[in-house]
């Protein structure tokens, strides 16, 4: 029987349906218009019309990060495509499986500077796992199948498929499944047995081991295997910004988050360890501080699906390339067989770390201006919402406080822009997460600066019945930049005042803005109002909710390791000496 003949546009929609795509975030335009016509007839794909293409990209990221599935966004050529670039770069840095489909001018016009032409394949080449340009209708099924395979296997990441308008309008036989031929793409998932044995030997010999856990654990769905490993060896666990929730915060082995704004026990555990069991982490500069002084006495086991990450920053004594779920399954079996129920003797190490916990607990001081404490507000959001909720943060102080003061018990509950640090991520990411997980409570915890970059997606949420909750931590300034100006620029506040929540000016008035978008708008200025506002937001599910929390502008994120310094210079609070200043020993 002959294959059905479809237009390229019909082939795009049919291919996505057969690849299991059920939700797309996008915005139409001339070069992608042929595809939007058959998309209207699809009964399997829900298209959500965003108000800006960057919102489509971040929504697809939030969708993927909350569910573990592929996120899909679509845009037209030229500015439509370039508006996706920030989200694509963000997904690349944080290993988010993303498929970005863009329209392109007719193939005969490519390279002529035609109206709304941009070389989006060339632009995105450094920030994607791969970028495809399709100029023939018959190539569409195979390219889309290849793109999904690349985005979702190995180290997940974004893939862009740019499709010329004449390829969308052309006709060809629709062949499914298509032939996928990627001879240069063979991600290694199974570890080498000898490396597993070498890793087990180092673990058995270590006196001060630390499990240094990165976002790769979340992407590989290896949280249960991680928990088993931690219990087998009894070692402390630190979870990076991207790994919050990969290991339960309630577990006594969890020391919290390491890095520039990590807990003192987590930062110091890495510094003083003799073995870093590095799982799906990449020795990011925000974790290591000054690389030459980072954990100088430690040997390194480094497990990663991406061989390019191993040895890039820190030499690995035992490098293991493979999928973390498979690697940990084999490592756990090896250790269980070797240890036979006993644990390495690291009691002295735990004594040192528990003393740090007592001496340097995570806390905060109340604002002197009488306004709300942002840490208190965020803590109450976490406590009242519970561990089954999803929290998407913007970037800045509120991001760090959300990582510090909300207790995470499960993976995929914490979404943020870690590597790129993209302001404006929170609202559209929360929107995407709510689409992916409609039964869960979803919070966007945002700053007044971040919120003003992408709040137009509240219209998308209202119209499409996506009742997210937005908590604006409103300090009337670009908070993290202001903190740096306080500490390193003699309190010279150059262009960081936003006038969004001062006593004399509120521009814009976020409550009125929320109401204009069809949301419930609430303003909270007193501590006794906080719980009631959060509960009202949680009970309101017929529309999005925006709470404008007016907080103290001088609140700072502590602890802190100043950029470029050794982690030994970690400061617990302003005007205090670094914890390990003057060579203080344990």
Same domain, 336 and 217: yes
The C-alpha angle 291, 295, 300, rounded to 5 degrees, equals: 100
pLDDT surpassing 80 at residue 578: no
Q: What is the pLDDT of residues 136-171, one digit of tens each?
A: 999 999 999 999 999 999 999 999 999 999 999 999
**Looking at the DSSP assignment, which residues form a beta bridge with residue 442?**
390
Same domain, 515 and 383: yes
pLDDT surpassing 70 at residue 559: yes
Tokens read off for 120: 């989006």
* Residue 505 confidence (pLDDT): 79
Q: What is the pLDDT of residues 107-143, one digit of tens each?
A: 999 999 999 999 999 999 999 999 999 999 999 999 9
Tell which phi-psi region holds residue 283, choosing left (phi > 0), alpha (psi between -120 and 50) or beta. Answer: left
CATH number of the domain where residue 332 is located: 3.40.50.1220
Same domain, 203 and 99: no
Calpha distance 87→110 (Å, rounded): 25
Q: What is the distance, to the nearest Å, from the Cα of residue 487 to the centroid of all Cα atoms in its chain?
A: 28
Same domain, 166 and 298: no
Range of the structural domain that residue 148 is part of: 5-173
Same domain, 335 and 390: no
Which residues are known to be catalytic? 53, 115-116, 165, 480
Strand runs (DSSP E) across 151-207, as ranges? 158-164, 171-173
Residues 6 or more apart whose Cβ sits within 8 Å of residue 13: 35, 38, 39, 41, 42, 45
pLDDT surpassing 70 at residue 310: yes
Same domain, 13 and 154: yes
562 in a domain, yes or no? no
Same domain, 279 and 381: no
Q: Percent of the chain, pLDDT > 90?
A: 91
Nearest to 242 by CA among 281, 192, 200: 281
450 in a domain, yes or no? yes
Contact in structure between 411 and 385 (CB atoms under 8 Å): no
Positive or negative torsion for Cα 412, 414, 419, 420: positive
Same domain, 477 and 536: yes
Q: What is the pLDDT of residues 222-231, one digit of tens each?
A: 999 999 999 9
CATH number of the domain where residue 159 is located: 3.40.50.970
Contact in structure between 116 and 152 (CB atoms under 8 Å): no
487 in a domain, yes or no? yes
C-beta atoms surrounding 329 within 10 Å? 18
Of 581 and 449, the structure prediction assigns the larger pLDDT to 449
* Per-residue burial over 174-212, b = 16 or more CB atoms within 10 Å of its CB, e = otherwise: beeebebeeeeeeeebebeeebbebbbebbeebebbbbb
Same domain, 33 and 137: yes
574 in a domain, yes or no? no
| Length of the chain (residues) | 586
Count of structural domains within the chain: 3
Three state DSSP letters for 197-239: HHHHHHHHHCCCEEEEECCHHHHCCCHHHHHHHHHHHCCCEEE
In this prediction the pTM is: 0.96
């Amino acid at each position: 029987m002959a294959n059905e003949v479809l237009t390229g546009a019909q082939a795009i929609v049919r291919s996505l349906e057969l690849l299991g795509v059920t939700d797309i975030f996008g915005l139409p335009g001339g070069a992608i218009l042929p595809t939007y016509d058959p998309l209207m007839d699809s009964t399997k794909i829900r298209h959500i019309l965003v108000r800006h293409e960057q919102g489509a990209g971040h929504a697809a990221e939030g969708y993927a990060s909350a569910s573990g599935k592929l996120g899909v966004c679509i845009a037209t050529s030229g500015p439509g495509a370039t508006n996706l670039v920030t989200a694509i770069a963000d997904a690349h840095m944080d290993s988010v499986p993303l498929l970005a489909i863009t329209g392109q001018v007719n193939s005969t016009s490519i390279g002529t500077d035609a109206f709304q032409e941009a070389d989006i394949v060339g632009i995105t080449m450094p920030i994607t796992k791969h970028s495809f340009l399709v100029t023939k209708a018959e190539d569409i099924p195979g390219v889309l199948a290849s793109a999904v395979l690349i985005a979702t296997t190995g180290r997940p990441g974004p893939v862009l498929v740019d499709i010329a308008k004449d390829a969308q309008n052309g006709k060809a036989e629709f062949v499914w499944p298509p032939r996928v031929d990627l001879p240069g793409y063979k991600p290694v998932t199974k570890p080498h047995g000898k490396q597993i044995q070498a890793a087990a030997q180092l673990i058995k010999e270590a006196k001060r081991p630390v499990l240094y856990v990165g976002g790769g654990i979340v992407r590989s769905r290896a949280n249960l295997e991680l928990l088993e490993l931690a219990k087998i060896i009894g070692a402390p666990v630190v979870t990076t910004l991207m790994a919050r929730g990969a290991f339960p915060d309630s577990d006594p082995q969890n020391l919290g988050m390491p890095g520039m704004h990590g807990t003192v026990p987590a930062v110091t555990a890495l510094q003083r360890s003799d073995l870093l069991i590095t799982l799906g982490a990449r020795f990011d500069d925000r974790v290591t501080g000054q690389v030459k002084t980072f954990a100088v006495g430690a040997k390194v086991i480094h497990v990663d699906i991406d061989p390019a990450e191993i040895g890039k920053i820190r030499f690995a004594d035992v490098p293991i390339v493979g999928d973390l779920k498979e690697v940990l399954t084999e490592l756990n079996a090896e250790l269980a067989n070797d240890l036979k129920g006993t644990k390495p003797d690291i009691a002295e190490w735990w004594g040192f770390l528990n003393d740090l916990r007592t001496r340097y607990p995570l806390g905060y001081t109340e604002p002197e201006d009488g306004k709300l404490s942002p840490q208190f507000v965020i803590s109450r959001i976490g406590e009242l919402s519970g561990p089954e909720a999803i929290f998407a943060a913007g970037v800045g102080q509120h991001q760090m406080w959300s990582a510090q003061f909300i207790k995470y018990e499960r993976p995929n509950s914490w979404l943020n822009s870690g590597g790129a640090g993209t302001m404006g991520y929170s609202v559209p990411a929360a929107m995407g997460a709510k689409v992916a997980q409609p039964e869960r409570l979803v919070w966007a915890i945002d700053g007044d600066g971040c919120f003003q970059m992408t709040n137009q997606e509240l219209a998308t949420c209202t119209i499409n019945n996506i009742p997210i909750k937005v908590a604006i931590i409103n300090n009337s300034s670009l908070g993290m930049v202001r903190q740096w100006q306080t500490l390193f620029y003699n309190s010279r506040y150059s262009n960081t005042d936003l006038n969004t929540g001062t006593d004399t000016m509120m521009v814009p008035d976020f409550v009125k803005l929320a109401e204009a978008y069809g949301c419930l708008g609430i303003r909270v200025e007193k501590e006794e109002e906080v719980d009631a506002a959060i509960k009202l937001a949680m009970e309101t599910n017929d529309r999005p909710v925006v709470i404008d929390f007016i907080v103290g502008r001088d609140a700072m994120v502590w602890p802190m390791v100043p950029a470029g310094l050794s982690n030994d210079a970690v400061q617990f609070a302003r005007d205090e000496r670094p914890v390990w200043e003057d060579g203080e020993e344990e």
